[in-house]
Structure 1
Amino acid sequence: MEHSSDMNKKISDAPIWPVNSFKSVVTKVPDWPDSISGLAYNPFRPGQSPYKHIYPTREQIKEDLLLIRPLTRHVRTYSVEQTLACIPEIAEELGMSVTLGIWIGWDEKHNDRELIEGVKLANQYPSVRRLIIGNETLLRNDVTVSQLIDYMQTARQSVNVPISTSEGWQQWHDTPELADHADFIAAHVLPFREFVPVTQAGSAVLARANELRLMFPEKPLILSEIGWPDKGNFRRRTTAYVAEQSIYLRSQLALLNQSGLDYFVREAFDQQWKTEEGLPGPHWGLFDAQRKIKLPLQGPVKIRASWRSEVPRLVADWQPDNWRTTVLIFAAFYTLLVGVGISYAQPLSMWVALPIALVWATSLLIGTGIQGYEFLESCWGPEKPRSFPPLRAYPGPLPKVSIHVPCYNEPPDMVKLTLDALQRLDYPNFEVLIIDNNTQDPEVWEPIEQYCRQLGPRFRFFHVNPLSGFKSGALNYLLDYTAKDAEIVAAIDADYCVHRHWLKHMAPYFACPDIAVIQVPQDYRDGDDSLFKRCC
């Protein structure tokens, strides 16, 4: 009887919603080390942005460095624009050192100003230990490899500190010639961007570091950016990112300190202006934008379980094993019966409309279900359901590619941007055939023809009028003029700006005889012009 009484008490006290629906998981990770190799440092605060040309004051920079100093005595910067040029002087006052960044972008005049100021600071302040010329410049396709090398050589001739450029590990793999002009390898290794689970991220970083060491055995290696944001993209935003950030960083730093690698954690403070990087962009900091530490530095880390992993248990908990759940199920069934009974009391017109309504509702339900399934699959489905990463190896010499660009009545300035991007391709063997079909106004197509002559013999222009078949007719026309030794034909629209590794990464797929056609991902090249275009 005592047993029965206890059971009844448990049943009567049981809530309708399952208890502890989402359980916290406690993870043990190493404590934050006493000192770390370095921190990437952007000093911008809420309301400040390099895009708006609103920069922090000297006093704010000093406050930041005083916050950073207990964690590390070394910071990495990205630019010397305006008050950012004060960082080496303030760091020297505080007994800190700087790996000084010089921002290299598409604006050559701005690049020259940055280079002059950066060289001046490197020669003036002993706190500057290294000089980094550009940050992910090649990834953004702002300059060519040769232009970046020219900037690096100019800096090397003017300073006595080691110089390099900072790119992702893939970029160093794809353009190893950069190492010939660098005193050290500065590589970003960010497993979050590669959808590596947090539990595997630490070993993934070490694996990339070992690859770079094997590629460049005579060059010192610095992991110029490692880190994990505390907010993710839309697809993964349900995960407890603050806990993941702490788990990753504390585990990763322990591994890196054991291996003796130099590194910079990205980054000291959240940067609210970095919205162009998506949801994670502003949230890589150890401190938030108000300069408060975000992650626990010691002790176990609690991470709340994902709701997706709890769904099966929630469904099981809703089985009618207690009286409250049973009553709810009975009430729902009774309501359904009452509804059916009421429907029989309706006039004949209701029964005529009912089949029509059922057909309409069924069609609506099917359409909504299909759209909803696709939406949920894209948001919470596999991270990469169809992943075709760039290939970086080809058995033998790379095949010749003939690139065909059809255009009709296109603005000449826009087409020139497309041709400039093709000119910058990092690929040894290709030709470009541009065809303008049926454009009547010579002021539209003649500037393109003249520009092709300026670009050299690799670019050939055709103006055909009349020509039937629209775009497909133009592409078929070019087949007769394609180089005889071309093995691959690539077609792009006249408003595309391709990445400079486009051919190098895609052509190796054709080594497989079963592959005939490849479609490459694309995005709007002017997507940063407005919020509307970013949403598109």
Structure 2
Amino acid sequence: MDNSESPTPETETHGSEAKKNPRSWRNSVFVRQAIFLFIVLPLVIAANLAVWAALNRPYEPEAWTGEIVGLSYSPYRQGQDPRMNRHPSAEQIEEDMKLLSGTVQAIRTYSMVYGQQKIPELAAKYGLSVAAGAWIGPNLERNEVELERLIEVAPRRNVVRVLVGNETLLRNDMPVEDLISYIRRAKAKIWKPVSTAEPPHIWLNNPQLVKEVDYIAVHLLPYWEGIPINEAVNAVFERLGELEAAYPGKPIVVTEVGWPSRGKVIPRRPYPGIPEAELRTEAIASLVNQATFMRGFLNRAKAEDLTYYVMEAFDQPWKASEEGAAGAFWGLYNADRQPKFPMAGSINEAPEWRFWASLAAGLALVPAMLFMLRQRHVRPMGVIIFAVLTQIAGSAIAWAGLSVTGLYFTWVGITVWSFLFFAQGLLLIVLLAEAVEFVEVIWTRRGARHFEPFDDKAAMPMRKVSIHVPIHNEPPEMVRETLEALARLDYENYEVLVLDNNTTDPNVWEPVRDACARLGPKFRFFHLENWPGFKAGALNFGLEKTAEDAEIIAVIDSDYQVAPNWLRTLIPYFDKDDVGFVQAPQDYRDRHESMFKNMTYWEYAGFFHIGMVQRNNFNAVIQHGTMTMVRKTALKRVGGWAEWCICEDAELGIKLYRAGYDSVYVNHSFGRGLTPDTLSGYISQRFRWAYGAVQIVKHHWDALAPWASSKRGLSGAQRYYFLAGWLPWFADGLALLFTTASIVLSAWALYQPHAVALPVAAFLIPTIGSFAFKFIRSLWLYAVRVKDCSFIESLGAGVAALALTHTVAKAMLNGMITTSKPFIRTPKCEDKPPLAAAFIQVREETVMLVLLWGLTAGFLMSPDFADSHSRLWVGVLLVQSVPYASAVLLSFINVLPSLFRRDRKDEPAGALSPAD
């Protein structure tokens, strides 16, 4: 058939209209692009910035304009840690004294070792009074040094009071009697007022201690009680009132009072006199709350003439591992000695938000403009939706960056957060790629490369076709039915080569040989013993045995029963010399047998009706071995089937594209096979596909890389759609790393509740946000493109896809660190496994599910994680558990068909109906 006269069953669309009237089409595109660039995109960016501004609106609590009475002071800076024997120098301490002078009247210290015994002397140079403290703990030798040096510095004029111990009883470092003995020794040699510092309940529960001290040194930190910020200042003075009532006439000095600028959310703790209903509030560590508390407290403390020491002068990063995340952020100055907020005027929680908002808009601008310039046939609404999605993605990255601004990182923290940001960036790239497909499918007219079957009533095509049927240990009866369907083809010029690949049992392969003999000379059978290369090796053998006059190689799986018009309606596409292969979708005839098969049936359908149709518009379909036809000369030119790759069919498609051949995808069912009978078979099949994808990417990276030249054989669109098609699988690998990280962090947090800050910001978008987007996207695409699929069936398809997440993740990670895996056959017609197999075939997923749900229960039951921030983390764990729960559920559906039987006896086997 002459190319110039051959019929072309492509649908005429806007693409052909553009060819008819190119100037008009270009003008309309130019107008649309101008409107988008100068009106729509600025409006979307403005809306995004407005959201940022609304979320970062300034607050203006009451101002404080006076001098602070006192600050508690620890001299350690970033990178210094008393536990690691890294201490500040005297010069650094003096710099602090100079900085604090004029802002504060006095300081309170905690220790008399590691150079801190020099603090009173250095403070005196700048007119600062000192409440000198000695650290008393379980180290008796150190206690003696501390007490001795405290006695030495106490006579100094600027030392106004001393403290023997700090929260010694709260930490249970020693009995109250032993602490009293240290206090008595200090009082015997020090004429200044002597006390020890403890929280209110310690003083209330130990009246004998009160009798021994000259004043009550109390720590009042409402944050640790979970008291909300609007009640915090009142709570401080309520606690003071309780102490005054319990010990009338006893002087009280507040030696610690404050609020952290960062840290975990603290749920309200039960406290005498507080109604149960009021315990549902919580304390939130934030810069605005710290400023609000400090301004309110300082004004009231001045009105009531209170002696106090604010907790504390400077942030102490080293305390985070001992006191939790909040331990590092109590300072009025950060660790770099910069004030964290003004004492008058407005306060913003994130003063740098404008930079991060601009960064978000900038990150989103590039992909939005590229999409607009390249996807000219997307309807305006699709362009707007994509612009909005890019702004959301950019803001997600920026928000995560903003969330760590001001944190004090160790090398471990830098490593962890670097990985989290890198993984977040990759996951968002994946989401954007999926957004591109989503927008293209929903808001693009049917493409110019929409192919339909040729008229089967037209003249018979003359090209000879060699149909290859590779088999390995397949049920003979199933193969016989496949061959009989081939014998019924409405086509004259074809042959069938049955290629038995290393089946060892003669009772399995000999009946197939006999069936070929009965079907006549068109059918040839080859039994290959100890043949290398798996399926690809068998197909290459078949290529050698193909009839000389055959022009087309067609391949089907051993379970496929083809329609009689398969060859007649597709072979004419090879009349165009540049067509290298013609592909039709896979379809299945057994979905009515069980709920499991129905779910997997519709999961497969999404790929063929959505992804493949969209990729066909850009000549970038993934070749799959069943229902494929390849020009024999093209197949030989590219070296045949790749025996090194376990997905030899998809790899062949890449090679054909690189060699300059075109493809045709006809979204019409020409045959139906069998879905896997078991979840284990379903899993092994997907593992092979995913692992093979990594092999292909690694082998053809020189052509697939985004920066690769078109001289490598692939167009820019082909490079994009091949990578974008496999990116979600790579994202599953990243998701497994995220899940593993969340399990480790969760276990660590439950083991040390106050030492670990749960990084919700780094996990919220990659988990909950990603899941929500994919869920909505999947249902929408199914509703538009997979017409025969009901809403419930599309949900079932989603469960089936989620059940494979762990398998795909393992395959991708394995593929990146290994070079080859053995070929994995997808079994057919297997017996249903016993009930025990419900867990056995998904044992890894079951372990992960138990871990995630167990950790979730731990957080829900722990009083240390009864806050809203921790509930978000629980949400992250639950969302991460969904794929594993889906796998276990699908396994039960598979092995317990009596509980999940589909009552559709009158339903025909059916075929996938192409969407419009």
CA–CA separation in structure 2 for the residues paired with 1:95 and 1:258? 24
Distance 1:276 1:343, change over 3 A: farther
In the aligned structure 1, how far is the partner of 2:673 from the partner of 2:44? 45
Residue 93 of structure 1 pairs with residue 110 of structure 2: no
Partner deviation per Cα, 1:192-233 (whole Å, 9 max, x = no partner): 212222222111111111111111112111111111222212
Aligned to 1:224: 255
Instruction: Please tell me the root mean square deviation across aligned C-alpha atoms, in Å.
Output: 4.0
Alpha-carbon distance between aligned partners in 1 of 2:240 and 2:104, rounded to the nearest angstrom = 22
Q: Work out the CA distance in 1 between the residues paired with 2:300 and 2:80.
A: 35
Candidates 260, 270, 290, aligned match of 1:245: 290
Match in the other structure for 2:230: 199
Is the Cα–Cα contact under 8 Å of residues 240 and 303 in structure 1 kept in the other structure? Answer: no
| Deviation string, structure 1 residues 322-362 (Cα, Å, up to 9, x no partner) | 77667987756589653598696785244657895667656
Aligned to 1:260: 305
User: Which residue in the other structure is 1:28 paired with?
Assistant: 60
- Provide the rounded CA distance (Å) in 1 between the counterparts of 2:122 and 2:865: 49
User: Is 1:116 aligned to residue 177 of structure 2?
Assistant: no
Alignment check: 8 A CA contact 2:265 2:285 kept: no
Aligned ranges 1:83-162 → 2 under 5 Å:
83-123=115-155, 125-162=156-193
**Partner amino acid, structure 1, of 2:180:** I
- TM-score scaled by length of structure 1: 0.59
Aligned twin of 2:83: 51
- Note if 1:348 corresponds to 2:378: no
Q: CA deviation at 1:60?
A: 1.7
Is the 1:130–1:162 Cα contact (8 Å) retained in structure 2? yes
**What is the alpha-carbon distance in structure 1 between the residues aligned to residue 671 and residue 239 of structure 2?**
72
Query: Aligned letter for 2:111?
Result: S
**Alpha-carbon distance between aligned partners in 1 of 2:317 and 2:59, rounded to the nearest angstrom:** 30
SS of 2:84's equivalent in the other structure is coil
Which one of 37, 40, 55 corresponds to residue 69 of structure 2? 37
Change (3 A) 1:235 1:139: closer
What is the CA distance between 1:165 and its match in structure 2? 0.4
| Identical amino acids, percent of aligned pairs | 31
CA shift for structure 1 position 27: 2.0
The answer to whether structure 1 residue 273 and structure 2 residue 337 are counterparts is no
Decide whether the 8 Å contact of 1:11 with 1:322 is kept in 2.
Answer: no
TM superposition shift of 1:249: 1.2
- The one-letter code sitting in structure 2 at the alignment partner of 1:297 is M
Moved more, 328-337 or 164-173: 328-337
Secondary structure in structure 1 of the residue aligned to 2:69:
coil
Structure 2 residue identity aligned to 1:233: K
User: Which residue of structure 2 aligns with residue 186 of structure 1?
Assistant: 217
Larger Rg: 2
Q: Is 1:81 aligned with 2:353?
A: no
Alpha carbons 2:382, 2:440 under 8 Å: kept? no
Equivalent position amino acid for 2:66 in 1: D
* 150, 173, 189: which one aligns with 2:204: 173
CA separation of 1:34 and 1:147: change in aligned 2, threshold 3 A: same
Which residues of 2 match residues 342-491 of structure 1 at below 5 A? 348-350=673-675, 356=682
SS at match of 1:131: strand
Aligned to 2:44: 15
Report the counterpart of residue 330 of structure 2 in structure 1: 284
Structure 2 residue runs of 5 or longer lacking an equivalent are 1-37, 268-282, 352-379, 387-434, 445-605, 614-666, 684-796, 806-844, 868-916
Q: Is the 8 A contact 2:260 2:285 kept in 1?
A: no
1-structure distance, mates of 2:248, 2:439: 73
Query: Residue type matched to 1:150 in 2?
Result: S
Deviations 1:45-95 (A, max 9, x none): 233332233332222221111111121121000011142111112222322
Contiguous gaps of at least 5 residues in structure 1 = 1-8, 306-320, 388-536
CA gap of 1:264–1:374, structure 2 versus 1, over 3 A, is farther
Residue aligning to 2:470: none
| CA separation of 1:374 and 1:45: change in aligned 2, threshold 3 A | same
- What TM-score do the two structures reach when normalised by structure 2? 0.36
Give the number of equivalent residue pairs. Answer: 365
Cα shift readout 1:481-505 (whole Å, capped 9, x = no counterpart): xxxxxxxxxxxxxxxxxxxxxxxxx
Counterpart in 2 of 1:467?
none
Query: Match of 2:317, SS?
Result: coil
The CA distance in 1 between the partners of 2:298 and 2:860, in whole Å, is: 30
CA contact (8 A) 1:16 1:324 kept: no
C-alpha change, 1:229 and 1:349, in structure 2 (3 Å) is: same
What is the 5 A alignment of 1:56-67? 56-67=88-99
Query: Is 1:209–2:240 an aligned residue pair?
Result: yes
Q: Which has the larger share of helix?
A: 2
In structure 2, the residue corresponding to 1:134 is in which secondary structure? strand
